[in-house]
Structure 1
Amino acid sequence: MRLQRDILTEKLRAGEWLKQADIESRYQANRFEVRMALSELAAKHLIDHIPNRGYRVINPSDRERSDLYEVRTILETAAGRLAAQKCTDEDVDALSKLVDEFEAAIDTHSRADLIALNLEFHNSFYALAGNELLVDQIRELRERGIPGRKGGWDTVAGTRASNEDHRQMVDMLRRRDADGLSYTIYRHLNRWREFTKPTDSE
């Protein structure tokens, strides 16, 4: 779905209102198709439906984002342990190529391209857990965390640091080091806390 892709690549910003007429024009879609798309995205918690006002891209508060990342940490460290048990050397080599591709793209590609590459890496990584339900839950929560996120991607150095986490995740996977992998995933997921302090005011 192009509308979902534009939210996930931040072409549509957190908190941005989605006018049905604009969406119809932008995506060359009819009213029924737009309504179905909006309902589906609301069910995925990528947009909010505000009664009598319409739809807008989600913009989680710091408290909501903190809760989201706590759940993600639990699921993704568990999935990492499964991946360490089930992966093959060929799987690890394929992930390593994605890390190299992301590194090469940092200085030459758009933020939207980097987000897409990042999603591809994580989706490929957790697919190695071999549990489709777990992978789907991780993907949904990861996507919910994209709009309005803050953190290391605000600088080139931070983006490189994020990809170095990916490289270390692949290294732990190659060693079949489940404990080291769990720690690396935990650190990677919680880097954002260095850049924002959760509050209850939002």
Structure 2
Amino acid sequence: MQLEETSAGDATSQPERIRSALLQAIEAGELLPGDAVDEKALADRFGVSRTPVREALLTLAAQHLVRIVPRSGIHVHAPAASELVSMLEALSELEAVVARLCALRMDPEQRDRMQRLTEATRHAAAAGDRHGYETENQHFHEALYEGCGNPVVVEQVRQLRLRLAAFRRRVRDQPGRLQSAAMEHDAVVAAIVDSDAERAAQAMREHIIAKGRAFADMLLAPASAPAGRTVR
């Protein structure tokens, strides 16, 4: 795994820079659940003492993104199945709030943009373009977060999506999932364009629930997972 190194600077910014780099690595899949994190190696890579590395890791532990076990080491948090289900339940309700608020608050220009974005995700899915889909999907959700006008809800959604990053990638790898997800986006946007708040919320719930069904399929036929790695 390659983490962007930071130059020596304001000591108060060092933990945040390290935390931000680790967050990006988790979201991008460079850091996987169960990977061991080598504190000393990270300090050497970033050219800092262990103190800011520890501060960054403690913050990530508080966010349930890494797990620190005395005398056992530090690992990227690997949630149990029950925790994943709980997070999906929470995410489905929070994303439903986002969709409902978008239906109530988006102006015509924002609604037009949502239609263009969902069309882009549909085209990428039809072409089987995983990278293109992920890019357009990111744009799609960012437009929803901007349009809902509630930064408090958005903050909670972002945190849950980050904790679910590895899971979401595995779900998208399932055959046909990109295409079905794109169709689910269409239903959400159609309701938003019609200013139908409750239909938008329910369509978003169903979108997240579909991920839960895909998760259940993975549990019934689990893929062999690679052994945990050490992150340096």
User: Which category of TM-score, normalised to the shorter sequence, fits these structures?
Assistant: 0.7 to 0.9
CA distances 1:25-54 after superposition (whole Å, capped 9, x unpaired): 55x352344223222222222222222223
Q: Using structure 1 for the length normalisation, give the TM-score.
A: 0.82
**Residue 59 of structure 1: aligned partner:** 78
Q: Does 1:183 align with 2:193?
A: no
Of residues 64, 73, 80, the one that matches 1:45 is 64
Shift of residue 118, structure 1, vs aligned partner: 3.1
Greater Rg over alpha carbons, structure: 2
Change in 2 beyond 3 A, CA 1:48/1:85: same
**Residue 141 of structure 2: aligned partner:** 122
Residue aligned with 1:30, SS: coil
Is this contact kept in 2: 1:102–1:118, CA < 8 A?
yes
Residue aligned with 1:190, SS: helix
Residue aligned with 2:165, SS: coil
**Residue 143 of structure 1: aligned partner:** 162
Shift of residue 192, structure 1, vs aligned partner: 2.5
Shift of residue 109, structure 1, vs aligned partner: 5.4
Kindly provide the amino acid, as one letter, of the partner of residue 124 in structure 1.
Answer: A
Query: Any stretches of 5+ residues in structure 2 without a counterpart?
Result: 1-19, 220-232
Query: Any stretches of 5+ residues in structure 1 without a counterpart?
Result: none
Between the aligned partners of 2:206 and 2:39, the Cα distance in structure 1 is 40
Is this contact kept in 2: 1:47–1:56, CA < 8 A?
yes
**Residue 97 of structure 2: aligned partner:** 78
Is this contact kept in 1: 2:88–2:212, CA < 8 A?
no
Number of aligned residue pairs: give it.
196
Residue aligned with 1:56, SS: strand
Q: Does 1:15 align with 2:34?
A: yes
Is this contact kept in 1: 2:118–2:182, CA < 8 A?
yes
Is this contact kept in 1: 2:171–2:215, CA < 8 A?
no
Residue aligned with 1:195, SS: helix
Percent of matched pairs sharing the same residue: 24
Between the aligned partners of 2:57 and 2:121, the Cα distance in structure 1 is 31
Between the aligned partners of 2:99 and 2:52, the Cα distance in structure 1 is 38
Shift of residue 125, structure 1, vs aligned partner: 0.6
Residue aligned with 2:176, SS: helix
Is this contact kept in 2: 1:58–1:147, CA < 8 A?
no
**Residue 48 of structure 2: aligned partner:** 30
Shift of residue 188, structure 1, vs aligned partner: 0.7
Shift of residue 115, structure 1, vs aligned partner: 4.4
Q: Note the 1:164-179 alignment, pairs <5 A.
A: 164-179=183-198
Q: Using structure 2 for the length normalisation, give the TM-score.
A: 0.72
Change in 2 beyond 3 A, CA 1:43/1:176: same
Shift of residue 12, structure 1, vs aligned partner: 1.1
Change in 2 beyond 3 A, CA 1:108/1:162: closer
Kindly provide the amino acid, as one letter, of the partner of residue 127 in structure 1.
Answer: E
Is this contact kept in 2: 1:10–1:147, CA < 8 A?
yes
